[in-house]
Amino acid sequence: MIWRAVIGSCLLMAAGFVSSPQAQTPATYRIENGEVPAPLTAEPGNPARGRQTVRDMTHVTCLICHALPIPEEPDHGEIGPPLAGIGSRYSAGALRARLMDPKAFNPESIMPAYFRTDGLNRVGAEFRGRTIYTPQQIEDVVAYLLSLKEP
Amino acid sequence: MAAPLPRWKLASALIVCGLTGYSAAPPRAADSTSVPYETEGRKSGYLFLTPATRTLQDDEFQNPGAFALERGRDLWDAPDGPDRKSCASCHGDAATAMVGVAARYPVFDAARNGLVNIEMRINAERERMKAAPYAYESDDMLALTTFLTAQSRGMPMTPDIDGPARPLFEQGRAFYEARRGQLDLSCGQCHDDRTGLRLRGDVISQGQVNGFPVYRVSWRGQASRHRIFAWCNTSVRAEPYAAGSPEYLALELFMAWRGRGLPIEAPSIRR
């Protein structure tokens, strides 16, 4: 079990308890048996919106490194494994955990953590203290990845 | 390191090699007096270009860097400052006076107790002429650095990292190895570990600096070493440093050593 409860987390957790699940912050989630089992938001993930999000150039598109079954996009990356069929190989909780913090699985991973703000060095001013994805974007992308089943 | 590549990685690496016409034998630079584009596993960005772009670089009449080269030649001879001196007034013909300079730079400068690269040396000389300094990425600075660097074309990069330069060299190495930015990536994670693979539309090269200043097709103009450092920093959503900063000078010295033996290529072309 990996805990990401860090300095200042008491405050943040308190906030998380009293407000909606939208208030999930990078400091409060934890990975249990390779999963973040509970969704980060009350609103269920929307796979169509997730498909748009993973293509979005302004949100560190997964296409930088991965091939995805999105034929209308050119130049899929080949740094990470292709993601077609990934929804047959992982649960929602496992996909959520891998997206939020890949370094929890492999400290040497070059995949960026899409929901983490600590342990980073010299982050650009406009991105400081912010996660790459919002909680809702995490849920949307998880729903999209889950929809990618083996033929 | 020795672990077998996953199948998808191996297949893609092979495809990329096929596409770029990359061959195993170390090819030589076009000019027969030049050192090869590959030495002891270090590879110039030239080898990651398509054959068509290589041809463009090799053809002195089609090479888009020729504009900067010609403008730099004019600037070398142009009188400036109150005493109407030019670079040529003191140094004479660049083709003899400036041979090998770019291959040695950046160098440690005792007076400043720090590193000096070609750009900073040019502005120091202009200060002596009482002429206004060039801005780092100005057309004039890029033109004169291209012209100066071209006087070492084909010569191997041989920076001196010993003596007083040593701690700065180590600082540059540490910069290169540090993960940074929201994407949490170090230079080496792309340019050592994943060369030849496709990062979106780009095939990742070794990130060697021997070609600079380069004509970058995607920027439609000449670019300095420090500008690409800032670009790579910004790409991983890290706060870049200023061109000419001590951090980038130290990185430049490390990068020149990392590519030691590779030929100075200006005027060169990159994507």
φ/ψ region of B109 (left if φ > 0, alpha if ψ in -120 to 50, else beta) reads: beta
Active-site amino acid positions of B: 232
Confidence of residue B21 (pLDDT cuts 50, 70, 90): very low
Suggest the residue from B183, B189, B203, B232 to mutate for an interface test with chain A (most A CBs closer than 10 A): B183
Nearest CA in chain A to B186: A110
CA distance A149 to A50: 15
Specify the residue for token string 């989630």.
A29
Note whether B271 contacts A: Cβ–Cβ < 8 A. Answer: no
Report pLDDT for B32: 60
Structure token digits, residue B39: 């030495």
pLDDT at B30 over 90: no
Determine whether the interchain pair B182/A110 forms a contact, defined as Cβ–Cβ distance below 8 Å. no
Helix (H) or strand (E) holding B269: strand B268-270
Q: Tell me the average pLDDT across B15-39.
A: 58
A122: Cα separation from own chain's centroid: 21
Structure token digits, residue B26: 């170390």
Chain B residues touching A65 at Cβ < 8 A: 199
Of the candidates B240, B223, B222, B242, the one whose C-alpha atom is nearest the C-alpha of residue B232 is B240
Chain A residues touching B238 at Cβ < 8 A: 121-124
Determine whether the interchain pair A77/B8 forms a contact, defined as Cβ–Cβ distance below 8 Å. no
The pTM of the whole model exceeds 0.90: no
Confidence of residue A27 (pLDDT cuts 50, 70, 90): confident
Q: What is the pLDDT of residues A120-147, one digit of tens each?
A: 999 999 999 999 999 999 999 999 999 9
Facing B200 at nearest CB: one of A63, A113, A121: A63
Determine whether the interchain pair A61/B182 forms a contact, defined as Cβ–Cβ distance below 8 Å. no
Of the candidates B131, B139, B166, B149, the one whose C-alpha atom is nearest the C-alpha of residue B254 is B166
Query: Parallel, antiparallel, or unpaired for β B198-199 and B202-203?
Result: antiparallel
Determine whether the interchain pair A122/B239 forms a contact, defined as Cβ–Cβ distance below 8 Å. yes
Nearest CA in chain A to B180: A121
Determine whether the interchain pair B197/A79 forms a contact, defined as Cβ–Cβ distance below 8 Å. yes
Chain A residues touching B182 at Cβ < 8 A: 60, 112, 120, 123-124, 127, 130, 132
Nearest CA in chain A to B195: A79
Q: Tell me the average pLDDT across B120-137.
A: 97
pLDDT at A16 over 50: no
Note whether B182 contacts A: Cβ–Cβ < 8 A. Answer: yes
Note whether B238 contacts A: Cβ–Cβ < 8 A. Answer: yes
Determine whether the interchain pair A78/B8 forms a contact, defined as Cβ–Cβ distance below 8 Å. yes
Q: What is the pLDDT of residues A72-86, one digit of tens each?
A: 999 999 999 999 999
What are the backbone angles phi and psi of residue B192, rounded to the nearest 5°?
A: -105, -45
Report pLDDT for B6: 40
Of the candidates B241, B245, B222, B244, the one whose C-alpha atom is nearest the C-alpha of residue B232 is B241
| Bridge partners (DSSP) listed for residue B116 | B107
Nearest CA in chain A to B237: A124
Query: Parallel, antiparallel, or unpaired for β B214-216 and B221-223?
Result: antiparallel
